[in-house]
Structure 1
Amino acid sequence: MTEAAATGTLEQALAHAARLLERDPTLAAEQLGEILQVAPGHAPALQLLAAARLLLGDLSGALAILVPLAQARPEWAAIHLDLGLALARGGRGQEAIAALRRAVALQPGLPQAWRALGDCLMAAGEQEAADAAYASHVRHSTRDPQLLDAAVALVENRIPEAEALLRAQLKRAPTDVAAIRMFAEVAARLGRNEDALNLLERCLELAPGFREARRNYALVLHRSNRPEQALAEIERLLAADPADVGCRNLKAVVLCRVGDYEPAIRIYAELLESYPDTPKLWVSYGHALKTAGHLERAIAAYRRSLELEPSFGEVWWSLANLKTFRFGADELAAMRAQLARADLAGDDRLHLEFAVGKALEDAGEYGPSFRHYAQGNAIRRTQLDYSADDTSARVRYIRGRYTREFFVARAGSGCPAPDPIFVVGLPRAGSTLVEQILSSHSQVEGTMELPEVTSITRLLRQQGDADEVMPYHAALAALDAAALRALGERYLAHTRIQRKTAAPLFIDKMPNNFMHVGLIQLMLPNAKIIDARRHPMACGFSAFKQHFARGQGFSYDLADIGRYYRDYVALMAHFDAVLPGRVHRVVYERMVEDTEGEVRRLLDYCGLPFEAACLRFFENTRPVRTASSEQVRQPIYREGVDHWRHYAAWLEPLVSALGPVLESYPEAPEGM
């Protein structure tokens, strides 16, 4: 037989084995074994044999072929794809990511590799990288030239161009589900989550089996503060593929959002078996453990993350942010060594500045500590578009709009349910302590800083006239009694998932809701509102040395903090005047000096009988999701009241900005 004939016969045998794979993998494996006896080491035959073994459930047998084959053929993209898929199936997530990255580096036009890479990255907690991989999957899975151009624009973050191309495509083909899904991604990137949800709902109506669209739908639901619906979509995805690691990670994230920490912790622990060398996954695990009160396990998780990535600033700050944790000398040296690196990423540097500031504060080195805090704040301030003038203008507008007559005209409106207790004020003012005390009462459940009021303000803003100075407030003022009642009922319905017990009352501890007292009064007139107030120097400096995960843009400049505190005092004084007795104020220093007396007054305001458990709040084991989580698991201590004085020499900008508010504390200045 000639060489050409032998080659032809071999190709025919391989083609026949490939056809056998799906309908009879056992027979295919037998034929491939025969081929390999004739042609030992034949790479395409080995690839097919590995595929046959996978279909037969022999994962270890498939990997025994794929691992050495990938080593022998480092330039062969398809074999790295197969290896990545097999490793992912075997729970070897980190190795799978490496193999899939190799595959797409060798051959970028492999849509299956991009999608699998996105799944693995999502499971590993690498959300941004996963989003980029999914975008590349869209780009490389389409053959339509119009969609291809839009996909390229989307991958390269040329959003206006992508939007224009997709609008044109959907005008031509309104039922193009791939285009609808991509248009939803554009809407999500522009922050138009409602539009994204509507588009994805239409996409799934046309193509219920479009798995990637359903995954996007679940993610946007989560980001839109609709955790119950997000979980329903995630469960639907997992019912079809229980091993979907990306969906399992998203489920853990959403479970943490709704306060179901123990099942989330179990999911993270399982994912870490497959992705043991993933720093971000260890951080997510540590956050869940910390909030659930498993402090030692959380510290161990954070330290494991740092072993894998010593420059990971967020982890150093997570340790510092435990408040009761103390760094050792070797850990301080390690942080300083990272800060000395010229190639340190900006986000890592930001977090490390705050962490080193905390370590030096604990060591009593207040001057160097302040310098690190100031540097961390300066870095963060450049990243934000915060305007103290805008905040002051908003407060002036609210004070002018929400008058006594305004509320009298709307008396009797809203939902009469008394369930929520809103704890408002500034961050680091003692609101977590108030929450912990109240949630120790048998009739009160603590939840978290709920984002629902903010979601409602966003909804009203969209309904308002864009030409209005403050469209949210204008839209709210235009609502009738039925619409205001509907808002209150919406609030209760959307927060129901956060309530785990039969307690009749629950706490919403979003401090920034002090800006929305008017809305709360109109939609939930029988809800309680508690203003947690702390000395402006103690509160202001505590905010300055705290790096918040999100929001609180005012807190990264001492003058901005002082002005924000003044605006807060002015606004609360206004509501005290137009709604006398509506808001109960808890002054932190009074709570420290006369805990029982203040607790009794607090419970009286809430219409609750005194319970001794409220004085032993530190024994309450419920999850706490704020920077004070460890502090409120201890008895009240006085040391924190005047701690700011160690830094008094550097706080003149705060003093100047506070003006007369400082002298009049805890009352508002006359005439404010």
Structure 2
Amino acid sequence: MPASKVSETDFRLALALQSQRRLRDAEAVYLRILNSDRFNLRALEALGRLRLQQKRFSEAEAPLRALVKRAKGSADAHHLLGFVLTGLGDFPAAVRSYQKAVSLKADFPEARNNLGYALHRSGQHEAALAQFDKAIELLPVFPDAYHNRGSALVALGRRNEGLVALQTALAQRPAHLAARSDLANLLADLRYGEDATLQDLSGTLDVDTLTAVGDIYLHREEYELAKRAFLGARLRDQGSRNARIGLADAYQNLGDPAAARLLLEGMLRGEGRSTEVLVKIANLTFSRPGPDILREFDRISSRDLSDEARIGVAFARGRLLHLSGKWSEAWTTLADINCEVWERVRDERAAERSREESALASLRAHSPRTADADKSRPTLLFILGTSRSGKTVVESALSTIKDVRRGMEDPLVRDALSFAWRNAAVPDADADADDSDNSDDVRRLFRVAYFEALERRGDGRKILTSTNPGLVRRAAWLADTLPNARFLFVTRNPEDTALSLMLKHYKTGHCYSYDREASFEHIEWYERMISQFTTIYPGISRSVCYDEVVDRPELIYRAVEDLCDISIGKPKELPILADDRSCAQPYIPLLRDGIPQRDLPYRGGGVA
């Protein structure tokens, strides 16, 4: 039988195998063809395409280079090789291959688009833009080219034009996930929901894009903006499960658990019912739960859950058992799951502890140089304490005062530091850690970025609060850098704090919380930081004890008036504060088993 006839039979077999997704078998057929005819152009191209399809770029390179060598006039061959080189990250070589392809075939929109992408990745954004424009001229409905055009425009600083290009990509292909992700990130960078100039876009953004923007804001801890994005998404589609869950997360982080729970409980009555929703409701429960929700948790099979979901269910169930007064079962559940997580993060805790020791030593050696006051700016009130110490309770009491704007655990310090380090050519470090750079240039840039962010959010109120607990390691730097910085520390009974830590599963960090000894060690370290800070900065710091202000919220107002030298007035009615005192009482022998009780600096006493 003639060789050409054998090859045609083999090609039909290979194509049939590919249609059956038997890709390795098809590859073997192409290799057999090339074994008998190593310059068979059709087999070289088919083998290269097959390996490209599986993203085996390094293996696809050899047959496609052989193809280009023997089919020098083929634009398709050069285009395929360019695709391989792009996959290998060799963008300069990819540019050369794509340029050869378009020189052979000028009206080749796919090659124009891919050439633009390689140029863009090489940093040649203007040249890339020209290729994307040519590709779109040749093929007006080309969502990938519009997506890439948007990326190039953003890189050139032409963000509003980039916005239009990304929206066009999505209009042409609503399922274009990369374009949606880039559009959402750009909208968040442009401060969608805060910048009034972007509000005209509201009617053109779909529910999935607005939900993605909300998710980005949640990740960035911009909870007010996240809420606005999710509310916009729900205006498009009230039934959107993701928008509803995201909005509940935003409400929870904004200190409105009742609104969050109302949203989630509505999902239990509809199609949104899920283990994820049950866990979120459990974590928003603060009083004795009804028997129905515990029965729901008893019916959950861990075999059907991811590892992360299983851990979340265990923490939520332990919390519900604790609130139900089933303390023995609660302790067993919580101790087991905390021990499991602790084994995973034990090594991280060693590094965390080293940073804590370094921060305390640095603070003890610190010579203060408090920043000058600036009466034209608001007072920056940092409410600091360990996680679960009652900072949110104190901040919520202050939020009843009309001159106080609640910031919660906002990312302003982290973002302003990143800006300062980037513009001062300082490598990024831990934004809420110790003094990684004390230069006047960094301080100046930090102040510029910080106050610009405040002005964007500002509404004329006199006191702006922030409650990020990790800022204690950078508190002295902030005191020396920011005009009008004030620090209100919150302490709490250590056993109650430790038990509250056991009840929570953190997304990141807080490694100490999963081990009793590490928790008490962290609480002691934090209170020593408070003691040292208030000693060297007595004029700009005070402390209150959660265990006392629950009954007497006026202690908070007195501390802030004294600290900020301002008359903030009193609410007509004092707020009723969340009371979680003595939550650890049933467990104290278990909590303290083998752990000595040290004499900590603050164990109560109202205002210090």
Whole-angstrom CA distance in 2 between matches of 1:488 and 1:232? 21
> Which of 448, 471, 474 pairs up with 1:516?
474
Whole-angstrom CA distance in 1 between matches of 2:432 and 2:388? 30
- Report the counterpart of residue 588 of structure 2 in structure 1: 648
1:437 aligned onto 2:390: no
Q: Is the 8 A contact 1:228 1:497 kept in 2?
A: no
Whole-angstrom CA distance in 1 between matches of 2:318 and 2:588? 16
> Which of 349, 366, 379 pairs up with 1:419?
379
Q: Is the 8 A contact 1:285 1:298 kept in 2?
A: no
1:499-648 to structure 2, matched below 5 A, reads 499=458, 501-609=459-567, 611-613=569-571, 616-617=574-575, 634-635=576-577, 637=579, 640-648=580-588
- Report the counterpart of residue 351 of structure 1 in structure 2: 312
RMSD of aligned residue pairs (Cα, Å): 4.5
Q: Would the alpha carbon gap of residues 487 and 365 (structure 1) be closer, same or farther in structure 2, given more than 3 Å must change?
A: same
Q: Would the alpha carbon gap of residues 221 and 568 (structure 1) be closer, same or farther in structure 2, given more than 3 Å must change?
A: farther
> Which of 432, 449, 459 pairs up with 2:409?
449
How far residue 454 of structure 1 moved from its aligned partner, in angstroms, is: 2.3
- Report the counterpart of residue 348 of structure 2 in structure 1: 387
Q: Is the 8 A contact 1:414 1:486 kept in 2?
A: no
| Letter in structure 2 aligned against 1:436 | S
1:304-315 to structure 2, matched below 5 A, reads 304=267, 308=271, 311-313=274-276, 315=277
Whole-angstrom CA distance in 2 between matches of 1:515 and 1:490? 20
| Letter in structure 2 aligned against 1:269 | R
Whole-angstrom CA distance in 2 between matches of 1:468 and 1:635? 37
Whole-angstrom CA distance in 2 between matches of 1:466 and 1:522? 22
Q: Is the 8 A contact 1:261 1:292 kept in 2?
A: no
Q: Would the alpha carbon gap of residues 149 and 560 (structure 1) be closer, same or farther in structure 2, given more than 3 Å must change?
A: farther
> Which of 325, 328, 338 pairs up with 1:364?
325
Deviations 1:573-607 (Å, cap 9, x if unpaired)? 22233323432111112313543345323322122
Deviations 1:25-73 (Å, cap 9, x if unpaired)? xxxxxxxxxxxxxxxxxxxxxxxxxxxxxxxxxxxxxxxxxxxxxxxxx
Whole-angstrom CA distance in 2 between matches of 1:346 and 1:242? 39
How far residue 280 of structure 1 moved from its aligned partner, in angstroms, is: 3.5
How far residue 429 of structure 1 moved from its aligned partner, in angstroms, is: 0.9
Structure with greater contact order relative to length (CA < 8 Å, sep ≥ 6): 1
| Higher share of residues assigned helix | 1
Q: Is the 8 A contact 1:255 1:261 kept in 2?
A: yes
3-state SS, counterpart of residue 392 of structure 1: helix
| Letter in structure 1 aligned against 2:543 | R
**Size of the alignment, in residue pairs?**
475
> Which of 219, 223, 234 pairs up with 1:269?
234
Q: Would the alpha carbon gap of residues 230 and 146 (structure 1) be closer, same or farther in structure 2, given more than 3 Å must change?
A: farther
3-state SS, counterpart of residue 422 of structure 1: strand
Whole-angstrom CA distance in 2 between matches of 1:598 and 1:243? 44
Q: Is the 8 A contact 2:210 2:229 kept in 1?
A: no
3-state SS, counterpart of residue 447 of structure 1: coil
Aligned-pair identity in percent equals 16
Whole-angstrom CA distance in 2 between matches of 1:403 and 1:661? 19
How far residue 494 of structure 1 moved from its aligned partner, in angstroms, is: 1.8
3-state SS, counterpart of residue 613 of structure 1: coil
| Letter in structure 2 aligned against 1:660 | R
Q: Would the alpha carbon gap of residues 543 and 360 (structure 1) be closer, same or farther in structure 2, given more than 3 Å must change?
A: same
Whole-angstrom CA distance in 1 between matches of 2:79 and 2:451? 46
Whole-angstrom CA distance in 2 between matches of 1:575 and 1:258? 29
How far residue 319 of structure 1 moved from its aligned partner, in angstroms, is: 0.9
Q: Would the alpha carbon gap of residues 493 and 467 (structure 1) be closer, same or farther in structure 2, given more than 3 Å must change?
A: closer
Whole-angstrom CA distance in 1 between matches of 2:323 and 2:317? 10
Q: Any stretches of 5+ residues in structure 1 without a counterpart?
A: 1-74, 76-107, 110-142, 153-160, 185-196, 618-633, 668-672
Q: Would the alpha carbon gap of residues 666 and 238 (structure 1) be closer, same or farther in structure 2, given more than 3 Å must change?
A: same
Q: Is the 8 A contact 1:234 1:247 kept in 2?
A: no
1:34-433 to structure 2, matched below 5 A, reads 144-145=79-80, 148-149=83-84, 164-166=89-91, 169=94, 177-179=116-118, 201-202=154-155, 205=158, 208=162, 210-211=165-166, 216-220=181-185, 226=189, 228=191, 235=198, 238=201, 242-253=204-215, 257=222, 259=224, 263-264=228-229, 266-273=231-238, 276=239, 279-288=241-250, 291=254, 293=256, 295=258, 298-304=261-267, 308=271, 311-313=274-276, 315-324=277-286, 326-338=288-300, 340-381=301-342, 384=345, 387-402=348-363, 406-408=367-369, 412=372, 417-433=377-393
Q: Is the 8 A contact 2:502 2:513 kept in 1?
A: yes
Q: Is the 8 A contact 1:413 1:484 kept in 2?
A: no
Whole-angstrom CA distance in 2 between matches of 1:544 and 1:227? 39
3-state SS, counterpart of residue 375 of structure 1: helix
How far residue 183 of structure 1 moved from its aligned partner, in angstroms, is: 8.8
Whole-angstrom CA distance in 2 between matches of 1:456 and 1:330? 47
1:462-501 to structure 2, matched below 5 A, reads 473=434, 475-477=436-438, 479-480=439-440, 483-499=442-458, 501=459
3-state SS, counterpart of residue 587 of structure 2: helix
Q: Would the alpha carbon gap of residues 445 and 229 (structure 1) be closer, same or farther in structure 2, given more than 3 Å must change?
A: same
Deviates more, 1:320-329 or 1:347-356: 320-329
How far residue 395 of structure 1 moved from its aligned partner, in angstroms, is: 3.0
- Report the counterpart of residue 665 of structure 1 in structure 2: 603
Q: Is the 8 A contact 1:422 1:508 kept in 2?
A: yes
Whole-angstrom CA distance in 1 between matches of 2:328 and 2:475? 39
TM-score (structure 2 length as normaliser): 0.65
Whole-angstrom CA distance in 2 between matches of 1:391 and 1:353? 25
Deviations 1:487-526 (Å, cap 9, x if unpaired)? 1231121234444x32122111212211210221122142
3-state SS, counterpart of residue 421 of structure 1: strand
How far residue 541 of structure 1 moved from its aligned partner, in angstroms, is: 1.2
How far residue 325 of structure 1 moved from its aligned partner, in angstroms, is: 5.6
Whole-angstrom CA distance in 1 between matches of 2:524 and 2:151? 41
Q: Is the 8 A contact 2:380 2:485 kept in 1?
A: yes
How far residue 145 of structure 1 moved from its aligned partner, in angstroms, is: 4.2
| Letter in structure 1 aligned against 2:155 | R
Deviations 1:252-285 (Å, cap 9, x if unpaired)? 4567735257754542433444xx4x64343224
Q: Is the 8 A contact 1:388 1:563 kept in 2?
A: no
Q: Would the alpha carbon gap of residues 234 and 509 (structure 1) be closer, same or farther in structure 2, given more than 3 Å must change?
A: same
- Report the counterpart of residue 103 of structure 1 in structure 2: none
Whole-angstrom CA distance in 2 between matches of 1:546 and 1:648? 18
Q: Is the 8 A contact 1:326 1:362 kept in 2?
A: yes
3-state SS, counterpart of residue 437 of structure 2: helix
Whole-angstrom CA distance in 2 between matches of 1:183 and 1:383? 40
